[in-house]
Chain A
Amino acid sequence: MGEVSTAGSGAGSGVGARVRRKEDDRLLRGRGRFVGDIALVGMKELAFVRSPVAHATITGIEIPEEHRGAVFTWADLAAGGVKPIRAVSGLPGFKVSEQPALADGKVRFVGEPVAVCVAATRAEAEDIAASVFVDYAELPVNSDMLEAVTPGAPKVHDHWPDNVFLETNVGGNIAEIAATAPVKVSRTIRTARQCMVPLEGKGVVAHWDRHVEQLVLTTSTQMPHIVRAGLSECLDLDQGLIRVVAPDVGGGFGWKGLLQPEEIVAAWIAMRLDRPVRWTEDRREHLVAAANAREHHYEITAYADARGRLLGIEADAWVDAGAYSVYPFSACLEAAQVGSILPGPYDFAHYRCRTFSVCTNKPPIVPYRGVARTGVCFAMEQMIDAVADAVGREPWQVRLENLVPPEKMPFDNVTRKHFDSGDYPESVRRAVAAIELEGWRARQKAGEPDGRLIGVGFATYCEQSAHGTAVYHGWGIPMVPGHEQAQARITPDGGLELRVGVQSHGQSMETTFAQVAHEVLGIPLEKIKLVHGDTGLTPYSTGTWGSRSMVMAGGAVATACRTLAERLRKIGAHLMQAGPDGAVLEGGSVKAGAAAVTIREIAHTWYRAPQLLPADVDRGGLEVTAGYKPGSDHGTFSYATHAVAVAVDPEIGQVEILDYVVVEDAGTMVNPMVVDGQIYGGVAQGVGTALYERMPYDAEGQPLASTFADYLIPGFTEVPHVRIIHMLTPSPYTEFGVKGIGEGGAIAPPAAICNAINDALKPLGVIVTNAPMTPEVILSAIAGKRGAA
């Protein structure tokens, strides 16, 4: 994969340089240290007894005599003072769920942990789990969100009046437009429930460290500080008694952005048995018990004028939030976000959207790379194409008609989202040129010798990232990001240690934060060390989510380094007996005229020859903790247009991607290679959402896939060669003008591919509106038409 990247000189190693990743030497040689690599003396392994049914009362748990003491249930945890997970949203009307780490008399989804078994090996722990007999009195099941909201549906939480965590209503001024708009198109659109399938599953090792009298939880997480906060609440243990460490983490995508019941259980068992214990999620557990992202349903109508200019959008949206509210993001983030971001990058005036976070007998939903945006983009971009079809114009022309133009930036849209910068229409124009639309149109006309149908599709989105205090305060969930902190410390030999509370799990932060620091201080990358993902060693942070780490923690690193730079400059000037005003820090040295003193020499002076320091030296020395927030709590808006050409085989319903172009604007790129990598990975996942990934459930709430034989993800032969074209509009609100881009690649592919498929199917007069667009979906659409004809 990979081709042109227009940005990044490749020169130097500061901001903008395409330098190789520092972490690769370790990771690519298989020398990383993941939870699965940890060996502690006397460590035991855990296996969970999980519910085989979606909804039931537990009427008994029988533990064979010989395994007493090796099996624990909620009764044990509750007696030990453990509290259920409560992830409450402050949004009015939110209904609270309580999720005990092990089922408390009732199970609400297949895979819910019921008991935990401890043994020397995982296989033996599974043997014990197989011997535990749980009596389930089955209850009626909510397996589909639309049925769950009908009157008389069985209730997931008995004391609730219905199965809706939260309903939101946004906008409303739509009636008049609805009555008068020349063009009106409606669609029913759906995205499937997905698993996130990081390469490394979830895993956790817990032990009590006698030396410091702390519970140490080494866990595969994106947010160690938040896990600590949640653990403290559930275990009723002071935060000072808990240290959460993230070792190497092999991908997260959101699945590792929450407090998990298994973490609570492992922590409690380690304390109870006074022994290290480990749980590693296996692939089957992941597929069954962690099928938890993306499931949206839309009833949506677009109103437009005869040119295709949007007049309004009206929608009802349902999100299947599963059985419980997850800590810290809650059960309603996804649906509530739908209401606020459905308008996409477009400028129109009238909007109404109702959303429902529906509670069902499925695993809790978790924000997955792109969060609600992938579904929203899928819905909105289909509407743009539908409008284009209705008015007889090319879809890209209708996009140009409606996108916020550059002269209106910064721009507040219909839901008060503050778009910071960029030229959205230009991304479309470049995508049209790069995909060579004219050529495909000609080929379409000529027809393919093998009978396949060619289609081209576009999708444009903008992605809010690095959401700030005001935005999260608005959600009222357990986590609100404030000023992000970074610590920068010059070592006695003139190197630099950076400490940040975010956690790199594939984002290349060991390299990119070093580049930021290098840009400010000039210290070579190899002498810069990043310490991250450890509550014992780093400042508090809400962690890595929302494409925020470079904007927030990168900004904090730059801020801390600037303060250090000033202190270095003053000491350096003193050592050269120059006035502070004439001295500059440049290329790792403080210079005054022809004289120069290196950071190494200054560090030596501070640590080992302090007698040489000026009398008025800053007593903080060569160590700084600095906080940072961008100029706007709305964060940054990166954006992109994806263009894709496909060939659809109408006889067997298969789709081949022939070309894929991404034109995107990440603002200033700290490392263009890393940005490209994030986009490639995101597009691969987006192709999965578009064409392959679906966790099917039957009416009893049974997940019908439990291995990769049934849950298909794209492999290297299915992921297209992606051509990336960068636009560079710096954000006015951030350090260096960077924008968050970690998620963007995964947002647009389902929409672009759907539009391409529908373009291809046009001669047959059918459309598909549900993801994934499997052969079955495509053939059913075609068969429906044949049947009707």
Chain B
Amino acid sequence: MKAVDFDYAQPATLDAALELLSREDVMVRPVAGSQSLGPMLNLRLAQPELLVDITRIAELRTIRREGDRLVIGACVTHARLEDGDYPDVTRGVLPSVAAVIAYRAVRNRGTIGGSLAHADPAADWVNVLTALGADVVIAGTGGRRSVPMTDFILGVFETALQPGEIVAEIHVPALSDRARWGYYKVCRKTGEFSHATGAVLIDPARGVQRCVAGATSGKPVVIDGPALFAGGCTEAAMAAHLAGSPAADDPIALRTHTVALKRAIAQVMS
């Protein structure tokens, strides 16, 4: 199939982009790497009248250190995060996770901001940035606001973004020297989306003991505290944590989620 007829703009500044995105006379949509939107356009699941390409906006493509945080522009590609030309404050989380998103051709174009805005529960950044305790900076014509990941992803393909707003930056807190992390996802094959994701972080200096169960057909499930780390990652425990999600009622899905998290935990315990 082919996309419907649409107009295309490629503004050079954030203000210009936000101006276009706030138009109410046409159906307007931002586009970054187009790795998720492209297929939706071609399947005519998305039928915008105007696409605003935000990838030429210089400020959205920068990575910088600001105190104890790393500030990543929304249009930074997975490939760049994989290649690591920035002060990695995450003890390898960012490059390692970027490297297992899809395959290189997708990573060359796909962006961290697009991934969050798309909010597929199986997406890597959706779960990993939740585990890392990142904040999302949202920009609109009315200004900027910062939202923690746990409040940004609201559900399947659902975020805190309001019409006309875009993700501008992602703020990732620096891990302390003794922080340890684990990540495991269950994929049918290389480059496929995950069926169950486990992301865990232990950072004693900052008092973090966090497990995230992802790809649960809902927002990432955050389980803070020591319980799961101390051998508590059982199907029974997970059934309670996943309560309400379809995964809790399907024994095979429950098992797979438990295993994914258990294996992520094993990485920090070894």
On whether the two chains bind one another, the answer is yes
Taking CB atoms, residues of chain A closer than 8 Å to B44 are 126, 130
- Once A284-B43, A692-B189, A715-B190 are accepted as A-B contacts, the answer to whether A123 and B4 lie under 8 Å apart by CB is yes
Does residue A57 face the partner (Cβ distance < 8 Å to B)?
no
Q: Establish whether residues B256 and A775, one from each chain, have CB atoms under 8 Å apart when the complex forms.
A: yes
Asked if B255 and A123 sit within 8 Å, CB to CB, the answer is: no
* Distance between B124 CB and nearest chain A CB, rounded to angstroms: 16
Q: Pick from A121, A127, A706, A718: contact of B189, CB below 8 A.
A: A718
A707 CA to B189 CA in the complex, in Å?
Answer: 15
Write the A111-123 contact mask toward B (1 if CB under 8 angstroms, else 0): 0000000000111
Say yes or no: A717-B188 contact (C-beta < 8 A), given A123-B4, A282-B1, A783-B255.
Answer: no
Decide if B3 is an interface residue (CB 8 Å cutoff).
Answer: yes
Q: How large is the interface on B (under 10, 10 to 19, 20 to 34, 35 or more residues)?
A: 20 to 34
Cβ contacts under 8 Å, A122 to chain B? 2
Mask of B34-76 contacts with A, CB within 8 angstroms, 1/0:
0000010001100000000000000000000000000000000
Q: State whether A718 touches B259 (Cβ < 8 A).
A: no
Chain B residues within an 8 Å CB radius of A199 = none
Closest to B186 in A: A652
Q: Give CA–CA (A774, B252) in the complex, Å.
A: 12
**B259 contacts A651, C-beta separation under 8 Å:** yes
Residue in contact with A779 in the complex, picked from B39, B43, B191, B252, CB distance below 8 Å = B252
Complex contacts, B256 vs chain A, CB 8 Å: 652-653, 775, 779
Interface flag for A714 (CB, 8 Å): yes
Check B188–A692 contact: CB distance below 8 A: yes
Residues in A110-149 with C-beta less than 8 Å from chain B: 121-123, 126-127, 130
Let me know if A780 is at the binding interface, CB within 8 A. Answer: yes
Cβ of A274 within 8 Å of any chain B Cβ, yes or no, is no
The reply to whether B190 and A284 contact each other, CB–CB distance below 8 Å, is no
A716: min CB distance to chain B, Å: 8
Within residues 179 to 221 of chain B, which ones have a CB less than 8 A from any CB in chain A?
186, 188-193, 195-196
Contact at A718–B43, with CB atoms within 8 Å? Answer: no
On whether the beta carbons of A712 and B252 are closer than 8 Å, the reply is no
Are B190 and A780 in touch, CB under 8 angstroms?
Answer: no
Contact of B188 among A126, A130, A712 (CB under 8 A): A712
Give the residue name and chain of the B residue nearest to A127 (CB). B4
In the bound complex, what is the Cα–Cα distance between A460 and B259 (angstroms)? 36
Task: Annotate B4-39 by CB proximity to A: 1 below 8 A, 0 otherwise.
Answer: 110000000000000000000000000000000001
Contact, CB under 8 Å: B188 / A651: no
Q: How distant is A696 from chain B, measured CB to nearest CB, in Å?
A: 14
**Chain A: which residue is nearest B250 at the CB level?**
A776
Q: Is A709 close to B, CB under 8 A?
A: yes
Using A651-B255, A652-B256, A783-B252 as known contacts, say yes or no to A775 and B188 having CB atoms under 8 A apart.
Answer: yes
Contact partner, B1, options A284, A653, A783, Cβ 8 Å? A284
Write the nearest CB–CB distance from B196 to chain A, whole angstroms: 8
Q: Which residues does chain A contribute within 8 Å of B260, judged by CB atoms?
A: 652
- Chain B residues within an 8 Å CB radius of A282: 1
Say yes or no: is B251 at the interface (Cβ < 8 Å to chain A). yes
Min CB gap A712→B, angstroms: 6
> What's the least CB distance linking B234 to chain A, in Å?
13
Within 8 A of B (CB), among A459-492: none
Q: Which residues of B contact A123 (CB under 8 A)?
A: 2-5
Q: Complex formed: what's the CA distance from A714 to B192 in Å? A: 11
Contact of A126 among B2, B251, B252, B255 (CB under 8 A): B2
The one of A121, A707, A783 in contact with B43, judged by C-beta atoms closer than 8 angstroms, is A707
Contact of B190 among A127, A718, A775 (CB under 8 A): A718
A779 touches B189 (CB 8 A): no
A127-B4, A707-B39, A783-B252 as given contacts; A714 in contact with B189, CB under 8 Å: yes
Q: B190 — nearest CB in chain A belongs to which residue? A: A717
Q: B192 and A780: CB pair below 8 A?
A: no
Cα A658 to Cα B255 in complex, Å, equals 25
Alpha-carbon distance A706/B44, docked complex (angstroms): 13
A395 to chain B, nearest CB (A): 28
CA distance A652 to B215 in the complex (A): 15
Which residues of B are found within 8 Å of A775, using beta-carbon distances?
186, 188, 195, 252, 256
Cα-based distance from A123 to B260 in the complex (angstroms): 43
Whole-angstrom CA separation of A653 from B253 in the bound complex: 11
A779 and B255 contacting across the interface, CB-CB below 8 Å: yes
**Distance (whole angstroms) from the CB of B216 to the closest CB of chain A:** 15
Min Cβ gap A92→B in Å is 44
- B259 and chain A: residue at smallest CB distance: A651
Question: Whole-angstrom distance between the alpha carbons of A712 and B188 in the complex?
Answer: 9
Chain B nearest CB: distance from A671 CB in Å?
A: 32
CA distance A127 to B4 in the complex (A): 7
Mark A690-701 against chain B: 1 for CB-CB distance below 8 A, else 0: 001000000000
Tell me the smallest distance from the CB of A512 to a CB of chain B, in Å.
33
Instruction: List residues of chain A with CB under 8 Å of any chain B CB.
Output: 121-123, 126-127, 130, 282, 284, 651-654, 692, 706-707, 709, 712, 714-715, 717-718, 774-776, 779-780, 783
Extra contacts, 11 of them, besides A651-B259, A715-B191, A775-B252 (Cβ < 8 A), are: A123-B2, A123-B3, A126-B1, A284-B1, A652-B186, A709-B192, A715-B189, A715-B190, A774-B188, A775-B186, A780-B252
B: residues with CB less than 8 A from A are 1-5, 39, 43-44, 186, 188-193, 195-196, 251-252, 255-256, 259-260
A-B contact pairs, 24 of them (CB 8 A): A122-B2, A123-B2, A123-B5, A126-B44, A127-B5, A282-B1, A284-B1, A652-B186, A652-B196, A654-B186, A692-B189, A707-B39, A709-B39, A709-B192, A709-B193, A712-B188, A717-B190, A717-B191, A718-B189, A775-B186, A776-B252, A780-B252, A783-B251, A783-B255
- 7 cross-chain pairs, A with B, having the tightest CB-CB distances, nearest first: A123-B2, A717-B190, A651-B259, A779-B252, A718-B189, A652-B186, A122-B2
